[in-house]
Amino acid sequence: MRKFRYLIYKDYLLLKRDVAGLLLMFLMPIVLVILMTLLQESTFRAITDASVPLILINKDKGELGKAIDKELELSGVFKIDRQIDGKVPTLQELEREIASSKYTLGILIPENTTENIQKNVARYVLATFSGAMELPAMDSVGFVIYVDPTTKASFYTTIMSTLKEKTQKIEFDYILKEITRQVNEISPISISTAGFAGQQVYIDIRDAQLEGKDMVPNPVQHNVPAWSLFAIFFIVISLSGSIIRERQDGSFSRLLTMPCSYTEYLLSKAIVFTLVSLIQFGLMLLIGVYILPLFGTESLNLGSSPLALILLGLSAALAAIGYGIAIGNIADTSHQSAVFGAISIVIMAAIGGVWIPTFIMSDTLRTIGMFSPMHWGLSGFLEIFMLDAGVKAILPESGMMILFGLVCFIIALAFNYRRRLDV
């Protein structure tokens, strides 16, 4: 055991003096997690906080104008101005403001709109009840809407349909109310539509959920575990590099001529790098909980099972260490291991959903991503953070990562045996 402590001390000193490796393992993921979270957060905010600038000129003194004004305000979609430089604009001024793109939309509700609708409804009801064969002439009721010509077609369609939906609902409510009033004037029995909401068909829109809870992570929930896994896997560069350097400078051979077995040699590296991984992981979680909220993001909720978190972190570390040891034994030079290690990790991260969450990937990419150890890890962490999962729930992900590490370790042993036997 005392001898083994010297091996661990050796690997600790080698790591401590590897400044580039330490920067790669600690500084890079810290910068990435903060930067990527903030970038995604600001994009998210830009979409959700967006409001369409609109000028509303309401010349109608009746109920319809007031109702439309109120509905547009309540929709939250529009930032409404009613005056420009302290006065109500004319139609020409309205057009000029929209054409110069200061506003996206301009709406004019003409004078007497409510009154004209009332008159039209009264004529219609009267004609209907008097048995007239032809409908009477109606006063025209129309809004003027100006739209910024640079507005994208898709955005224009969305805005116009929203606007139409709102005005038609108000118009319908108002017409129903007017018909009721007119009918009550000529009918001996009083009727009421107060309890009639008008909307009979409900479209229930829901977010897709897994086991009753929302599985679309926010930027913090996604980025903290994603970049933690990326950081853990990046130890591969330092680990494989140290194995190759020791093999090339002869110190590995010297160690094997000492009372020290190959298993002890690898175990020492595994212990040191497991500790590094757990420190990286802890650091990233702390950033998610305490540092990111300082930049205005949500704080990371760590779930309720610390044991599940540790198990998953440990499994990810074992997967990365196994992979690092395998590369260290397969590659002939540090350059080979650094290039292959870095590229393979970036690919694993890309398909595993570290860069871009898997839920926005195509089906094909999502299927390919299922083979990435980082995907297993990320799924496990999301279960803990979002579904409050415990140890039992993350056992499949944890098991897959441990198995991956084990397979890599066996490959490393086979390559080392072959090297000693024949090279």
How many degrees, rounded to 5, is the angle at CA 347 between CA 342 and CA 351? 150
Residues touching another protein, count (CB under 8 A): 26
Residue closer to another protein (CB basis): 9 or 290: 9
211: CB partners within 8 A, 6+ apart: 387
Residue closer to another protein (CB basis): 17 or 206: 17
> How far apart are CB 412 and another protein at their closest, in Å?
18
Is 7 one of the binding residues for another protein (CB under 8 A)? Answer: yes
Site for another protein in 383-422 (CB under 8 A): 420-422
> How far apart are CB 241 and another protein at their closest, in Å?
12
Draw the binding track, 220-259, toward another protein (x: CB under 8 A; -: no contact): -----------------------------xxx-xxxxxxx
Is 333 one of the binding residues for another protein (CB under 8 A)? Answer: no
Is 332 one of the binding residues for another protein (CB under 8 A)? Answer: no
Cα 380 to Cα 390: distance, rounded to the nearest angstrom: 10
Phi, psi dihedrals of residue 323, rounded to the nearest 5°: -65, -40
Draw the binding track, 259-288, toward another protein (x: CB under 8 A; -: no contact): xx----------------------------
Residue closer to another protein (CB basis): 144 or 258: 258
User: Based on the number of CB atoms within 10 Å of its own CB, is 115 exposed (0-12), middle (13-18) or buried (19 or more)?
Assistant: middle
> How far apart are CB 28 and another protein at their closest, in Å?
21
Which own/partner pairs from 394-403 qualify as long-range (CB within 8 Å, at least 24 positions apart)? 394/308, 394/311, 394/312, 397/312, 397/315, 398/311, 398/312, 398/315, 399/315, 400/373, 400/376, 401/312, 401/315, 401/316, 401/318, 401/319, 401/373, 401/376, 401/377, 402/315, 402/318, 402/319
> How far apart are CB 235 and another protein at their closest, in Å?
18
| Interface ranges with another protein (CB under 8 A) | 2-3, 5-7, 9-10, 13-14, 17-18, 249-251, 253-260, 420-423
